[in-house]
Chain A
Amino acid sequence: MREGRWMTITRQPNAIAGGVLILIMLFGAILGAVHTPYDPIAVDFFHRLTPPAPEHWLGTDEWGRDVLSRLLAGAVVSVGIAGVTALIATSLGALIGATAGFLGGWFDKVVIALMDALLAFPALIMALALVAIFSSSAFTPIIALSVAYLPSVVRVVRASVLVLRRSDFVDASMVMGNSRAITLLRHILPNTVAPVIVLATSLFGWALLAESALSFLGLGTPPPASSWGGMLSDSRNYFADAPWLAVAPGLALSLSLLGVNLFGDALRDLLDPRMQKP
């Protein structure tokens, strides 16, 4: 059965394309953590804004820093932030959301009130406050974004659990004498996988984008350390003169997002038992 499903996924061109893009992205991040051609924060006043050339494959930025090196170092930061954020938000959110939706009652009400309070709390203000209090590091956007995305996961999972609770197979499970915990774990949680996977891939994307938005507002990863969002945001002053500054991080961001989304869709088709075409 499982092998059969893997066969399905490897036969889909979208999944393959997505997987390849993700592998490239991960490879970049790992490479960036281990080795970069130049020091990504070393300033070189004599080679500012040089176009792509053999010495600098992707050119240099306004301070003569090697764009390729910054792109690789930035991959560690950007992919790391997005990945950890998506992981924390979905796993925690799915658990809370499913439990709340299934149990209902006062627990549900408390969870909803808490999540509303969190959602009403703008992620940006949270990020700003955390950055200002703890001085900035990659850690602060992760906390701020995880907290910001948690309620979305809770709400979406809870909504589908509310629908599922009414369905026949849940009734059947209860009638068969299964406990509520077993029913939740065996019959309800697996059926929320589809929206959670879609949401998790979206969250990864949102977190990548949110990091760039935070950088745009001057709240992102603190310079001189690089991140894709920061690089893209800084490049807008040189758009006419040094378009490679925008192209490199822009493509890295967009292609990574494309890969994650394509793969996420294929993965959902794979994981959801009811998703096979009749």
Chain B
Amino acid sequence: MTRYILTRVMLAIPTLLLALAAIFFLVRLIPGDPAQLMLGDVDDPAALARIRQELALDQPLPVQFGHWLLQLLRGDLGQSITLDSPVSDLLLPSFAVTASLVVPAVVVAALIAIPAGVVAGWKQNTRLDVAVMTLATLALSIPSFWLGLMFLLVFGVYLNLLPVVGYVSPLEDVWQGLSYLVLPVMSLALIEAGVLIRLVRASTIEVLGLDYIAHARAKGLTEAAVIVRHVLPNAMAPTWTMIGLTLGGLLGGAVVTETVFSLPGLGRLMVESVFARDYPVIQGCMVIVTVAYVSVNLLTEITYPIFSPGARDA
């Protein structure tokens, strides 16, 4: 097991490097640079040249990349260009906000989706199945920003139950913090649940069709025992991968939800720093996103054998 984990970690290093190099060069291909934005419509070539020199934007790209990598190896993510702060000081709080939105959302989504999907698959083509699938399909058929805005208008403005914008960490003030998180978590969870239910149902149906289920039934096991002991674990294999993918992807920022509810998360930090061409922050975000992603996937892979024994030594 340890060796397996070590191999996976070693494999993650090229992934990380690849993603970092790609983002480094990609953002610099985009026209416009932070020096220009800093000056806005103040039109002063001398100031522009001075800022570019200060930011070392006048050096060749490979030199800049090498310099940044060396810095990274020393654990230094550099200094934000536009926000006057070390990049690491920006990343941690943003990541905390995103995690406090995304982790509960994915957990809620999974708690809804797994039982609903298994039951729908088990009772395929019954009214229950149709009802579950209709709801799941509806959740999938609404753009996330629209759902968020509707939540905000209905629960926030008309019913006046919850705050509309802003963020308070649940660690500062549990109830206030939670009240700020309810709407964004619910709107995100609903959509993710829609995706998951469909997948769980499909896998359940697939597993139900396999021979050993027939064997199990033939052996006289009750239907509930078949579902819990044989169908659920096997149907969980692709689902578990999907949950990992979703979580890993969302930790990179649920930009739309963060934007609608004004949550200062990682996704917004990243988009805003792309708009501002704040190269060090973009790169820093990528480091976090990639590391978060790779570790979530590693966890998924490590726990994968629980559901599908024998997949590990493949």
Please report A residues at the B interface, Cβ cutoff 8 Å: 14, 101, 104, 109, 112-114, 116-117, 119-122, 124-126, 128-129, 132-133, 151-152, 155-156, 159-160, 162-163, 165-168, 194-195, 198, 202, 205, 209, 212-213, 216-217, 229, 232-233, 236, 239, 250, 253-255, 257-258, 261-262, 265, 268, 272, 274-278
Contact = CB atoms under 8 A, between A and B. Distances in A.
30 contacts: A113-B14, A114-B15, A114-B18, A117-B15, A117-B290, A119-B245, A120-B289, A120-B290, A122-B252, A122-B253, A124-B267, A125-B23, A126-B26, A129-B29, A133-B30, A155-B241, A155-B245, A162-B314, A163-B237, A194-B206, A205-B141, A209-B140, A212-B145, A213-B256, A216-B256, A268-B202, A272-B209, A275-B206, A276-B209, A277-B124
Contacts of B270: 122, 124-125
B311 A162 contact: yes
B310 interface: yes
B142 to A, nearest CB: 6
Given A155-B241, A274-B210, A205 B140 contact: yes
Contacts of A112: 11
B198 A198 contact: yes
B202 A195 contact: yes
Interface in B114-162: 124-125, 130, 133, 137-138, 140-146, 149, 153
B264 interface: no
B29 A195 contact: no
Q: Which of B31, B198, B210, B314 has the most CB of A within 10 A?
A: B314
A132 B27 CA distance: 10
A124 B206 contact: no
B144 A121 contact: no
Contacts of B144: 209, 213
A76 B124 CA distance: 35
Interface in B190-242: 195, 198-199, 202-203, 205-206, 209-211, 214, 234, 237-238, 241-242
Interface residues of B, number: 69
A156 B256 contact: no
B146 A250 contact: yes
B30 A122 contact: no
Q: Which of A109, A155, A159, A160 has the most CB of B within 10 A?
A: A159
B143 A275 contact: no
A119 B293 contact: yes
Given A104-B314, A113-B14, A202-B195, A229 B143 contact: yes
Given A124-B255, A194-B206, A232-B146, A116 B294 contact: yes
Nearest to B153: A239
Contacts of B19: 117, 120-121
B242 A217 contact: no
B79 interface: no
A278 B202 CA distance: 16
B112 interface: no
Given A195-B203, A233-B145, A122 B289 contact: yes
Nearest to B290: A120
Nearest to B213: A278
B274 A125 contact: yes
B238 A119 contact: no
A258 B29 CA distance: 39
B51 interface: no
B163 interface: no
B202 A116 contact: no
B6 to A, nearest CB: 14
A198 B117 CA distance: 14
Contacts of B311: 162-163, 166
A116 B211 contact: no
Contact of B209 (A195, A217, A275): A275
A258 B139 CA distance: 10
Contacts of A258: 137-138, 141
B308 interface: yes
B240 to A, nearest CB: 9
A217 B203 contact: no
Contacts of A195: 199, 202-203, 206, 238
Contact of B15 (A120, A205, A217, A255): A120
Contacts of A114: 15, 18
Given A122-B289, A163-B308, A229-B143, A129 B271 contact: no
B289 A194 contact: no
A213 B30 contact: no
A165 B255 contact: no
Contacts of B271: 124-125, 128, 217
Interface string B12-34: 10111011001100110111100
